[in-house]
Structure 1
Amino acid sequence: MKLSADNCFFKTSSSINSLQLRYSLSKMSQKFPEVQGGGSLIVAWQVRNKNVLVVGGGEVASGRILHALNADANVTVVCPSSGLNEEVAYRVAENQVSHIDRNFEPHDLDNADMVLCAIDDPEASTQVWKLCKERRIPANIADVPPECDFYFGSMHRDGPLQIMVSTNGNGPKLANIVRQKIASALPQNTGAAIENVGLLRKKLRAIAPDANEGPKRMKWMSNVCVSWSLEDLVAMTDKDMDGLLTHYQSGDVPSLQDIRAALS
């Protein structure tokens, strides 16, 4: 078959367009972060006032219970009293958690928003997992990564500061080692500095509540965090905050020393 000049021109134009598209995509790929599959979606899951069911009462369960209580969840433990370790028994006695004194039954899931299973019975654990999947309840089955909607990483806590290290189920002990190294590198009183920044943000929102002020508030707060040392953020008093906030409208961020000199 003989090709016409028009056909040849069309094919040449298509080839050029294809090359231009590949070049453009190649340039864009250098602009945006590369996708790295195989990870987890790391989020700060809010379970405040949510119902968390813990199945089991041993050492692993005690850790799960503490994590849930630290997040202000309503925790229910289902486990025979004979299976409670000292810590879990203490939390039951102190009414920090509700206790169902028997083995797990399917209807225990009726009001559950999250399930944490920590028992030494693989068959029973899998049954809990299957029931949770049927009801679309997020669940973690201890030591069984394929039966987990989420993992518990190695945690560091300093007031409002929370740092989690996860190996995505590959090496829990290594996660602990990495977490310890990170924690040891943090300046002292980091948590206290963050608490003061939080108080300053609340005060700023009170004097500049307009939603249109959002970008300006964020920029000014960012400048405070960058300009002030952690030591100064820790030392900042309520009076210092009020003095600093008088400079918000101008966008200035004077030092703590300048603030105190002006107030004296």
Structure 2
Amino acid sequence: MRYYPIFVNLENKGCLVVGAGEVGKRKIQSLADSGAGHVTIIDTREPDPEMAPLLARPEVDFYCREFADSDLDGKFLVIACTSSEEVNWRISNLCRDRGILCNIVDQPEKCSFIVPATVKRGDLTVAISTAGQSPAMAKRIRKELQESFGDEYASLLSVMGRIRPLMLGLGLTTADNTAVFRSLVDSSLLAAIKGRDLDAVTEILKESLPEPLHDNIPELLDGLV
């Protein structure tokens, strides 16, 4: 099966995780860190003490009991990582019938979506999927990408994010804006940021940005280089 790649906005969305073992804890943390509006956790075991900081977050609720069909009410996305084949299939079938996005960990035949291996550097996320054929290969590729993408990519992306509204505020044409953005990403700005060469970074920005934005360069770089 060829999956359609997508990044989902979880803001104000209800999510459910059934099973809070080692895998479940990673899924819960990932959902919370991705800005999920609310994360409900169901597990028959009391929560691990190391989960205390996560459970203290206002958007996270934990219930120590068996899964119930009503737990799906109002949910946008569901992840199940239980050891029960029966429970996993039940959740999968219920989600299918209700049109709820569902992932049963390590069982792609029960899923409406799978979670890719990812490399994250600030707001940059690189996702790797093997369509469920080989999670081991996805992890190997992720390791290789982690060595290729350093923290300088997060800093560059932050700079670009700060530049964007300033450029759009100038009222230039789309073609002019595109030319500036492409000039920046194709320049040696990334290497200068990686080398923490503030003078070089400043000079590149002066060469690439319209003159009205030159006075904004110090604030563009504040805390980044």
TM-score, with structure 2 as normaliser = 0.81
State whether structure 2 residue 40 is matched by structure 1 residue 80.
no
Q: What does residue 45 of structure 1 align with?
A: 8
8 Å CA contact retained: 1:197, 1:233: no
2:183 alignment partner in structure 1: 223
Q: Per-residue CA shift, 1:83-118, capped at 9, x if unaligned?
A: x33444542245451122211111111110110111
Task: Describe the superposition over 1:197-249 as per-residue Cα deviations: whole angstroms up to 9, x where unpaired.
Answer: 111112112222x7xx3333123211221124203457457xx9689643489
Name the residue aligned to 1:122.
85
Query: 1:165-244 to 2 correspondence within 5 Å?
Result: 165-208=128-171, 213-232=173-192, 235=198, 236=201
Code of the aligned partner of 1:99: F
Distance 1:111 1:150 in 2: 18
Q: 1:114 to 1:228 in 2, by over 3 A?
A: same
2:121 to 158, 164, 176: 158
Map of 1:35 onto structure 2? none
Residue 81 and residue 201 in structure 1: after superposition, are their counterparts in 2 closer, same or farther (change >3 A)? same
Q: Distance in 1 between matches of 2:75 and 2:108?
A: 21
Identity of aligned residues (%): 23
Deviates more, 1:106-115 or 1:148-157: 148-157
In structure 2, relative to structure 1, the CA distance for the partners of 1:157 and 1:77 (3 Å cut) is same
1:61 equivalent in structure 2: 24
Q: Which has the higher contact order (CA 8 A, sep 6+)?
A: 2
- Partner residue in 1 for 2:221: none
Cα distance in 2 for residues equivalent to 1:89 and 1:187? 31
Decide whether the 8 Å contact of 1:79 with 1:104 is kept in 2: yes
Q: Are the equivalent residues in 1 in contact too, given 2:15–2:75 (CA < 8 A)? A: yes
Deviations along 1:105-135, whole A, 9 cap, x unmatched?
A: 1111111011011110010110011111111
Which whole-Å CA distance do the structure 2 matches of 1:223 and 1:57 have between them?
Answer: 47
- One-letter amino acid matched to 1:66: Q
- Render the CA deviation track for 1:166-198: whole Å, top value 9, x for unaligned: 111122122111111111122441111111111
Q: Residue 99 of structure 2 corresponds to which residue in structure 1?
A: 136
Gaps of 5+ in 1: 1-37, 250-255, 257-264
Write the mapping of 1:100-115 to structure 2, written as runs, cut at 5 A.
100-115=63-78
Unaligned 5+ residue runs, structure 2?
A: 218-225
In the other structure, the counterpart of 2:62 is 99
> What CA distance in whole angstroms lies between the structure 2 residues aligned with 1:201 and 1:232?
20
Instruction: Give TM-score, length-normalised by structure 1.
Output: 0.70
Does the aligned pair in 2 maintain the 1:57–1:88 contact within 8 Å? no
What are the superposed Cα offsets for residues 57-108 of structure 1, whole Å, 9 maximum, x if unpaired? 11111111122112100211122342x3344454224545112221111111
Q: Hey, what's the Cα distance between the residues in 2 that align with 1:102 and 1:172? A: 31
Specify the code of the residue in structure 2 equivalent to 1:200: I
For residue 130 of structure 1, give the secondary structure of its aligned residue in structure 2.
helix
Residue identity in the other structure for 2:41: V
- Number of positions where the alignment pairs a residue of Structure 1 with one of Structure 2: 208
1:33 paired residue number: none
Rounded to whole Å, the distance in 2 between the matches of 1:248 and 1:214 is: 17
SS in 2 for 1:78: strand
With over 3 angstroms needed to count, the CA separation of the structure-2 counterparts of 1:88 and 1:129, relative to structure 1, is farther
